[in-house]
Every structure is written in structure tokens, then in C-alpha cells.
């Protein structure tokens, strides 16, 4: 029973689910006009979901990897629904709360995509959180110094490319372990963030220094994170940005030669080398993708939160990203990854935090719950490998 | 197996709610969101719980896992969907959070506490003036080293508004002038009056107590041949970290220590004569006054007649006796330590 099920039925089912979501949240329908940017985002969401559905192979093997996270998400959603219907004054399924969760999922999902690709090819990036922080601080500081928002965005993305390139070169050319290189990077990039700005940086500061940026900055904020100037979430735009990126990753991963190279490298890099794959070049490109996505997430972090502290912006994000990737079906040993799973994995952490707030679970419990989630993921990962090996042998 | 493990985890999650506090008591709900997780906030929680019991309201006391606007606002936004009628927030970044908090002040009664954001339309601010409190610490340094000397400032971070004000207060008091604007921008001088500022800047530790101790040890090593040294710890754990380092190098009494906040180790150090003094806020009152105010308004009280109570910083010394030039309440360390422990225990 390892064959694929008809793609058409998956697509129809997914569209049905999207339609229900649309009705529930009363989102703007994509068919009316293109005047509203959120309608454009709605179309993008549908296109991304379609691409994700078409690249997803509904085999027993994939289902096994994703069923667990689905059960986890389903049980938390169920609990939120119980709260919604039994405790009248609490409204976790309110549109604005769902938007908040989906937006958190979006920004976490973007770094998860990069982290997952790196884990897939047998590497790891512990500097992701610091890169997110450095990017957020650089983005804010550049604007405070008079760099227009769009130019600042481009510079920060280039910074991400440069960081990924450096990490990648150190790993592929000097043959250093990615764990160590990125561990050093974690300290260095945090240090750079603190050296760039000793104080908090933020959108209000940039606007008060340069009132001429206010309009473009507000539009950028509305477009990329869906927030109005007063901070109200109008649309989970971050989710759409993440979905678009996930769809691109899905096509590369599951439908292109590059994807096959990456799976091969992660599964057995020596064999991949003998097969004529440019292992080092492929690994370098994945490092660049990972850091660039982290830098982009840093930009979104500043736009979403409005402010970034050089000392702690993006702290521990690398761990959240790795957790999300593992829960989404990535094997820490490399060679296994499902693009659609990453989206689900990235939803776990935001929804757990949200649920804990509604159930008034003490703040001190939050970290052990995340830790337990990662642990159960890795234990299950190991057990399923042994189970399969035994079944084969 | 993977599915089984995750299902077991999901099952565990599903059972957790059964252990937690159930709401739906019909009481008015208010919430407090702090700026970080710290012992300091235990005192505020104690005060808040007492006020909640007195006013018959339900309280949700939340501490963000890190001192970031994002973590704090995530908690605040989730609380807004939980039917709260009032919210007290220790603002992390007043300027950047003003638009969000202004919107929130339009939805629920908002009180700022510990750190203010005065343009948000909040009902009131509950907290001490950190600049004046910093000046009080500066006066304590002047009493310990009246002829001048070298001072080392230790603090978790210099990015938050209250930390900047505290540092500015200490240095302005020593210099006898007003350099607030420059200090807030992070521009420091080497000399403040007859005092030399070690490393020409406050030493930060990212709110990590272990790093605070290493910082203090390293400063003591570098200042070992310098006469007349005072070390000022401006976050709650800093005086304790300094004291541990000073004890480790057998310099108790030689290096003067001035602290901030009411960590029990700091109070014990003062009682033993190892620390000169500490400037305390009144976190218990922060919690108590915030909840009292929110409960009053939520129950239909007149917003223009909010029960105001000015919260002033206080000074804790070994003797607790009057000091010339100090116009705030002075507390005796041993007595203050006991009463604080009792008020915490009473709530737990």
C-alpha cells in the first residue's frame, strides 16, 4: 500500500478545506478584484496550497510521518474549540486570535524551511536565531540612519546571503563541522547585532527620525505581516509569504533534480559523490538559502513586533525551527523531508503557546512542553527507523 | 511508533487542562503581564493576589519567557481574547509599543506598571521614578566614598527605558549635573565629578546571573590595585553577584557595594555590613495597586477618581536610621527582609 492516491482527490479535498477556512474567517474572496492587496494574497495562498498539494505524495510512509503531528494539532485545536464553546468569555477561535496564530506560524515557518533543508542535506544551523536578531537590528538601524525601507530590506537580504555563503564555505571548503561553525556564528552574529546598535531599534524610532519613510514602512508592514499602523492584525500575510516560499521549496524538493540531489546527499553523501553530484556546491547553496530565509524572517520580526532588542531578538529561534522541522517529518539524520509537513510543524509551537495561555498553564511549563515535543519526535524518529530496518531485514 | 509516541504526547496534553485552574467563576477578570521572568515579580504577584482576593476579582499573572516585545505582546493579545476587563503591563519599549498599547487601551482598561508609556491613554502609571531611584543609589555611593574614587556599574541591559534612567540617575548624582540626554543615547564620559567610571560604560550581562558574577570578578581583578572602589549593581541579581565575587577575592569591606531591589541575599549582605545599601522599588505595591485600580474601574468606578497612590522608592540600610539628605523612607535590612518573606509566604 505504498502507492500514491489520485492527486485530483487530494486537490479537491484541500480546496474544500480552504473554502471552509475562508468562510469561517470571512476572508476577502480572491475573485472580486485585484485592487485589495489582501485579495492578491488570497490568490497567492490558493496557488501555493495547490502547488503544495500537487507535490505531496500521499503514500503510507509520508502519512505515517505526518499523522502524528496532525493528531497533535487536532487535539490542541479540539481543546481550543472546547474552551470556545464552554467558556463563553474566552474566544480562542475568534478571527483575530486565529490570525495571530497563523502569523506566528508564518514567521517560524520561514526559518523552519531553511533549517529543514539544511538538516535534510546532513547539516545543521545553530546561528539561525542570531541571524534573525542581526537582520532585525540591521534593518531597523539602517532605516534609523536614513536608508529607505526597500533598500534596507535588500541590504539585509544580501547580508543573509553573505552569512550563508561564509558558513557554507567554512563547512564545504575548510571541512569544518556545520555544528561548530554555526555555533561560533551564533555568538558572533549576536555580538554584531549588539555592536551595531546598543539600544532597542524599532519602527517608531525610524519614523520619528525620518517621517518620509512612514508611508512606505506602513505599506511594507501591511503587505508583509498584515498589520495596520496601530498594530492590529488585518490579515495573516506572514502565513501567505511562508506558503509561497514553502510552495517554491516543495517544487524544488519534490519535483526538481536539485531536490533529488539534496535527498541523496543527506541520505549518503559518499554515495551521492560517487553518483557525480557536486555535493559541496549543493551544500553551499543550501547554507545560503537557510541564512537568507533567516535574514528575511528577521525583517518580518521587526515589522511584526515593531521593535527589536539587539541582546535577545530571535533568541532560541534556531531551536524552535529545528523542533518544527522534526515535528514536520524531517529526520535529524538527514535524507528525509516533506515540504507540506514543515508547514504543519511550524504550527505546533504557536498553537501550543496560545493554548497554554487560554488554559492558564503556568509560564514555567512552556519550555518543558516544547522540549517534550522535540524529544518525542526524535524518539519516534529513531524507533520508526529501527522498525523499518527490521521489516526489511 | 512515531505516531504512537506523538499520540501519547497529544494525550498528555489533553489531560493537562484538567490540572489547571478553571475560569468561568463569573468574577471580573484582570491580568498582569510583566516584562520578563524574575524573582522581583514574585513580590508583585503576591501583592496582586492579595488585591484580587480583597476586590473579589480573578487574576491572571503572566511573565514572558524573555524580555522581548514580541513575547510580551503575544501574551497580551491572547489575554484580550479571554474576556479580561483590565490589564496592567510593565512596558518594555515605550516608544515602540505605544501604537499597540494605544489600540489596546481602547479595548480594555490599561494600567502601565514598573515602566511607563504615557501617550497610550492608560488609566495610570504604577511605579517609581527610576531616575530618582538611580540618584538615591548615587547618594549611597557618595556616602561610601565621599572623597571620590572609581565606580563600576553593573546592569542586565542598557536598552530598556528603566535601565537607562537608573544609570543616568546614578551618574548625574555623582557628577552633580544633568547629562540624561547623552547617557540615554549611550554616550558616557570617563569622569563624573570626582568619580571615575570603570571602562567608561556600564557593564552588561544580558540578564544572566552567571555572567554578572564573571563581570564582577573580572572588574575586581582589573581594579585590584585601584584604591577607593565602589561597585553598583542595578538589576536585582547584580548586588548578589558582586557580593559573591567580592567574597571570593576576600575584599569584603574594601570594595563598597551599593545595590538595587530587594533580593534576599542583598538584604542579608546589608545586615552583615557587606553591602552599604540598596534602593528598593515596591513591587508588592505595583501588583497590589494595579489590581486595585483595575478592579475599581472594571466594577464601574469613576475613571477620573482612580485611587491614586504614589509609589516612591525606598532605601534599605543596616541600621534603618535617618540619613541627612535622604528624604525617602529608610528601612532596616533585617526587619525588611522578615516582613517581605512573610508577605510572600502569606500569599503562597
pLDDT, one tens digit per residue, over A3-49 is: 445 555 566 666 666 666 665 565 655 444 445 667 778 778 888 88
What is residue B197's DSSP assignment? E
A357 chain-B contacts, CB cut-off 8 A = 62, 75, 78-79, 82
pLDDT given at position A281 = 94
Q: Which of A64, A86, A89, A209 to mutate to test the interface with B (most CBs of B within 10 A)?
A: A89
Which CATH architecture group holds B130-280? Answer: 3-Layer(aba) Sandwich (3.40)
Return mean pLDDT, chain B: 88
CB contact under 8 A, A68 and B157: no
Residue A200 is nearest to which of B1, B20, B96, comparing CB atoms?
A: B96
- In terms of Cα–Cα distance, which of A310, A337, A378 is closest to A144? A310
Cβ neighbour number for residue A85 with a 10 Å cutoff: 10
Residue of higher predicted confidence among B36 and A140: A140
Helices A339-358 + B69-80 axis angle, to 10:
70
pLDDT, average across residues B266-287: 94
- In terms of Cα–Cα distance, which of A336, A241, A286, A202 is closest to A48? A241
Closest residue in A to B96 (Cα–Cα): A204
Closest residue in A to B184 (Cα–Cα): A199
Closest residue in A to B156 (Cα–Cα): A311
pLDDT given at position A362 = 75
Residue A199 is nearest to which of B6, B81, B186, comparing CB atoms?
A: B186
CA distance B136 to A254: 65
How many A/B residue pairs have CB atoms within 8 Å? Answer: 182
Closest residue in A to B26 (Cα–Cα): A89
Residue B13 is nearest to which of A75, A205, A381, comparing CB atoms?
A: A75
Which residues face A307 on adjacent strands?
A202
CB contact under 8 A, B4 and A380: yes
A318 is written with which cell numbers?
A: 534556531
Domain boundaries, chain B: 26-127+282-312, 130-280
Closest residue in A to B60 (Cα–Cα): A360
Topology of domain B26-127+282-312, per CATH?
Rossmann fold (3.40.50)
% of chain B exceeding 70 in pLDDT: 91
pLDDT given at position A32 = 42
pLDDT, one tens digit per residue, over B278-327 is: 999 989 999 999 999 999 999 888 877 776 667 899 999 999 988 888 88
CB contact under 8 A, A75 and B11: yes
For residue B53, the SS3 value is: helix
CA distance B346 to B45: 12
Extract the residue ranges of chain A whose pLDDT is less than 70. 1-37, 58, 370, 373-374, 377-378, 380-382, 384-385, 388-389, 391-393
pTM for the model stands at 0.81
A305 chain-B contacts, CB cut-off 8 A = 68-70, 73
- ipTM entry: 0.73
B12-20 contacts, C-beta under 8 A, 24 or more apart: B12/A372, B13/A72, B13/A75, B13/A76, B13/A79, B13/A352, B13/A355, B13/A369, B14/A75, B14/A78, B14/A79, B16/A359, B16/A361, B17/A79, B17/A359, B20/A359, B20/A360, B20/A361
Residue A379 is nearest to which of B5, B21, B160, comparing CB atoms?
A: B5
pLDDT given at position B326 = 87
pLDDT given at position A259 = 92
For residue B154, pLDDT beyond 60: yes
Closest residue in A to B107 (Cα–Cα): A232
Asked if B26-127+282-312 and B130-280 have one fold, the answer is: yes
Answer positive or negative: Cα dihedral of A95, B113, B182, B68. Answer: negative
Residue B99 is nearest to which of A88, A230, A381, comparing CB atoms?
A: A230
CB contact under 8 A, A71 and B6: yes
pLDDT given at position A33 = 43
Q: Are B325 and B139 in contact (CB under 8 A)?
A: yes
pLDDT given at position A185 = 96
pLDDT, average across residues B76-93: 92
pLDDT given at position B344 = 79
A373 chain-B contacts, CB cut-off 8 A = 9
Enumerate domains of chain A plus CATH numbers: 7-392 (1.10.3470)
pLDDT, one tens digit per residue, over B210-224 is: 889 999 999 998 898
Amino acid at each position: 500500500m505504498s502507492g500514491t492516491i489520485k492527486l485530483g482527490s487530494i486537490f479537491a479535498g484541500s480546496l474544500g478545506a480552504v473554502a471552509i477556512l475562508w468562510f469561517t474567517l470571512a476572508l476577502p474572496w480572491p475573485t472580486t478584484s485585484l485592487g485589495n492587496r489582501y485579495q492578491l494574497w488570497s490568490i497567492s495562498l490558493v496557488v501555493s496550497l495547490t502547488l503544495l498539494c500537487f507535490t505531496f505524495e500521499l503514500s503510507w510512509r509520508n502519512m505515517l510521518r505526518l499523522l502524528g503531528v496532525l493528531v497533535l494539532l487536532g487535539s490542541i485545536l479540539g481543546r481550543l474549540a472546547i474552551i470556545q464553546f464552554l467558556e463563553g468569555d474566552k474566544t480562542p477561535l475568534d478571527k483575530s486570535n486565529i490570525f495571530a496564530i497563523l502569523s506566528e506560524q508564518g514567521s517560524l515557518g520561514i526559518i523552519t524551511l531553511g533549517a529543514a533543508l539544511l538538516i535534510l542535506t546532513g547539516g545543521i544551523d545553530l546561528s539561525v536565531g542570531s541571524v534573525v536578531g542581526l537582520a532585525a537590528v540591521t534593518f531597523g538601524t539602517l532605516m534609523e540612519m536614513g536608508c529607505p525601507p526597500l533598500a534596507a530590506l535588500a541590504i539585509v537580504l544580501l547580508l543573509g546571503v553573505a552569512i550563508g555563503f561564509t558558513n557554507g564555505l567554512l563547512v564545504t571548503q575548510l571541512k569544518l563541522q556545520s555544528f561548530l561553525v554555526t555555533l561560533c556564528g551564533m555568538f558572533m552574529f549576536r555580538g554584531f547585532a549588539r555592536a551595531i546598535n546598543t539600544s532597542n531599534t524599532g519602527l517608531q524610532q525610524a519614523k520619528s527620525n525620518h517621517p518620509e519613510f512612514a508611508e512606505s514602512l506602513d505599506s511594507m508592514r501591511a503587505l508583509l505581516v498584515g498589520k495596520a499602523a496601530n498594530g492590529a492584525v488585518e490579515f495573516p500575510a506572514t502565513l501567505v509569504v511562508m506558503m509561497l516560499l514553502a510552495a517554491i521549496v516543495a517544487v524544488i524538493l519534490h519535483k526538481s533534480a536539485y531536490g533529488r540531489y539534496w535527498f541523496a546527499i543527506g541520505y549518503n553523501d559518499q554515495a551521492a559523490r560517487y553518483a557525480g553530484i557536486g555535493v559541496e556546491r549543493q551544500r553551499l547553496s543550501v547554507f545560503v538559502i537557510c541564512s537568507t530565509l533567516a535574514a528575511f524572517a528577521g525583517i518580518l520580526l521587526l515589522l511584526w513586533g515593531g521593535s527589536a532588542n539587539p541582546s535577545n531578538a530571535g533568541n532560541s529561534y534556531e531551536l524552535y525551527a529545528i523542533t518544527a522541522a522534526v515535528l514536520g517529518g524531517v529526520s535529524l539524520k538527514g535524507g528525509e523531508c516533506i515540504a507540506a509537513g514543515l508547514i504543519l510543524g511550524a504550527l505546533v509551537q504557536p498553537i501550543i503557546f496560545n493554548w497554554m495561555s487560554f488554559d492558564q498553564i503556568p509560564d514555567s511549563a512552556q519550555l518543558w512542553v516544547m522540549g517534550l515535543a522535540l524529544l518525542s519526535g526524535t524518539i519516534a524518529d529513531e524507533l520508526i527507523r529501527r522498525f523499518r530496518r527490521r521489516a526489511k531485514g | 511508533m512515531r505516531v504512537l509516541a506523538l499520540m501519547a504526547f497529544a494525550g498528555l496534553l489533553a489531560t493537562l487542562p484538567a490540572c489547571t485552574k478553571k475560569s468561568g467563576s463569573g468574577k471580573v477578570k484582570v491580568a498582569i503581564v510583566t516584562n520578563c521572568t524574575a524573582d522581583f515579580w514574585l513580590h508583585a504577584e503576591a501583592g496582586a493576589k492579595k488585591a484580587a482576593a480583597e476586590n473579589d476579582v480573578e487574576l491572571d499573572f503572566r511573565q514572558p519567557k524573555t524580555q522581548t516585545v514580541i513575547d510580551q505582546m503575544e501574551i497580551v493579545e491572547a489575554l484580550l481574547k479571554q474576556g479580561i476587563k483590565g490589564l496592567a503591563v510593565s512596558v518594555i519599549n515605550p516608544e515602540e509599543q505605544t501604537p499597540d498599547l494605544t489600540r489596546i487601551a481602547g479595548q480594555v482598561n490599561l494600567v502601565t506598571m514598573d515602566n511607563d508609556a504615557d501617550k497610550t491613554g492608560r488609566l495610570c502609571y504604577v511605579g517609581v521614578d527610576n531616575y530618582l531611584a538611580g540618584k538615591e543609589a548615587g547618594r549611597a555611593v557618595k556616602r561610601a566614598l565621599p572623597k571620590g574614587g572609581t565606580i563600576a556599574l553593573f546592569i542586565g541591559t542598557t536598552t530598556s527605558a528603566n535601565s537607562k534612567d537608573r544609570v543616568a540617575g546614578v551618574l548625574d548624582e555623582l557628577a552633580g549635573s544633568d547629562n540624561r540626554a547623552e547617557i540615554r543615547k549611550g554616550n558616557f564620559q570617563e569622569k563624573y565629578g570626582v568619580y571615575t567610571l570603570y571602562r567608561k560604560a556600564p557593564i552588561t550581562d544580558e540578564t544572566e546571573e552567571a555572567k554578572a558574577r564573571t563581570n564582577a570578578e573580572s572588574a575586581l581583578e582589573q581594579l585590584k590595585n585601584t584604591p577607593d572602589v565602589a561597585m553598583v549593581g542595578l538589576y536585582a541579581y547584580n548586588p548578589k553577584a558582586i557580593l559573591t565575587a567580592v567574597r571570593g577575592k576576600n575584599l569584603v569591606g574594601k570594595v563598597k557595594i551599593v545595590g538595587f531591589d530587594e533580593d534576599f541575599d542583598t538584604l542579608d549582605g546589608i545586615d552583615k555590613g557587606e553591602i552599604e545599601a540598596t534602593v528598593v522599588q515596591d513591587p508588592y505595591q505595583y501588583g497590589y495597586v494595579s489590581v486595585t485600580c483595575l478592579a475599581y474601574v472594571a466594577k464601574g468606578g469613576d475613571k477620573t477618581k482612580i485611587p491614586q497612590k504614589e509609589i516612591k522608592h525606598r532605601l534599605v540600610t543596616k541600621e534603618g536610621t535617618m540619613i541627612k539628605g535622604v528624604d525617602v523612607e529608610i528601612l532596616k535590612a533585617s526587619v525588611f527582609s522578615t516582613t517581605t518573606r512573610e508577605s510572600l509566604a502569606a500569599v503562597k
